[in-house]
Amino acid sequence: MKAKITFVGSGNVATSLAHALDKAGHTIHQVISRNADNAKILASKFGAYYGDQPSEMYKDADFVILCVSDEAYYSVLEELPDGLRAIVCHTAGPVAMNVLEGYSGDYGVFYPLQSFRKEEVKDVMSVPFFVEGSSKQVKEKLHALADTISNKVSEVSSPEREKYHLSAVFANNFTNAMYAVADNYLADNGLDFNNLLPIIKETADRLKNGKPSQWQTGPAKRGDKAVIQKHLDMLDDDMLKAIYAQMSKFIEYNAQ
């Protein structure tokens, strides 16, 4: 299948998906963004039309893919033109599919479980895509579209997708926050975070060969209370002390 696709949004997700879909032979038909300059920049990469208002959207696309912040969905949807023949889909993890109900006859979800940066567009063939549709036919069309850019496509309901998104916050966002804690602590002491990269990589690589719980290491896993107390004494920030103590307690509890 070769589709004509309109994007609403010009940020990280829109940029990455537009490049992937263009590479797969689809036509990037139009880019709509509140920031007209950003819309023009992205559209120009594909010879597409652009605009800064959803009401300016042409009605002949096969798919309209919404790539906007979770808070912006309602305002964007209110401005969609009547008579769209396209399947309108969103790309958000925590937003239910039914947010689109009433704004289009055919609607669904086209969600990539990945963190994107428009400054570094990468191949998405190994990225899991979760699709959902307002009907069997819509679901099949979204599945077929996703199949052209990814080899990991699944049909996932809104409640299931929301659980994946929550899990990704733990696995990705919270983990990265801990990297930032380590980086700041080392920098404050004149030391180099880059020396932690090998152990970070080793831990991530191990996850391919077993459950995360079986690879847990460290003083809390061993029940080494003397080391835990020493670490707590080394921290001056009360919030970091609380995080360290709570995480140690959580690891120790799950090791029993």
The domains located in the chain, with CATH, are 4-156 (3.40.50.720), 161-255 (1.10.1040.20)
Phi, psi (5° rounding) for residue 91? -125, 25
194 burial class (0-12, 13-18, 19+ CB within 10 angstroms)?
exposed
For residue 82, the model assigns a pLDDT of 86
Beta strands in 33-106 (DSSP E): 49-51, 63-66, 87-90
| Cα dihedral 34/71/168/26 (nearest 10) | -40
Report pLDDT digits (tens) over 81-96.
Answer: 888 899 999 999 999 9
DSSP 195: G
**Residues for the chain: how many in total?**
256
- What is the average per-residue pLDDT within 208-234? 94
At position 75, the amino acid (one-letter code) is S
Q: How far apart are the first and last CA of the chain?
A: 53
- What is the average per-residue pLDDT within 151-155? 97
For residue 1, the model assigns a pLDDT of 75
For residue 149, the model assigns a pLDDT of 98
Query: How many angstroms separate the CA atoms of 170 and 188, rounded?
Result: 26
The pTM assigned to this predicted structure is 0.92
The CB density around residue 44, as the number of other CB atoms within 10 Å, is 11
Indicate the pLDDT class of residue 186, thresholds 50, 70 and 90.
very high
Query: How many angstroms separate the CA atoms of 143 and 121, rounded?
Result: 22
Give the orientation angle of helix 36-44 with respect to helix 12-23, to 10 degrees. 20
For residue 72, the model assigns a pLDDT of 83
* Structural contact between residues 23 and 45, judged by C-beta atoms closer than 8 angstroms: no
Indicate the pLDDT class of residue 45, thresholds 50, 70 and 90.
very high
Query: How many angstroms separate the CA atoms of 212 and 206, rounded?
Result: 8
Percentage of the chain lying above the pLDDT 90 cut = 86
- What is the average per-residue pLDDT within 123-134? 97
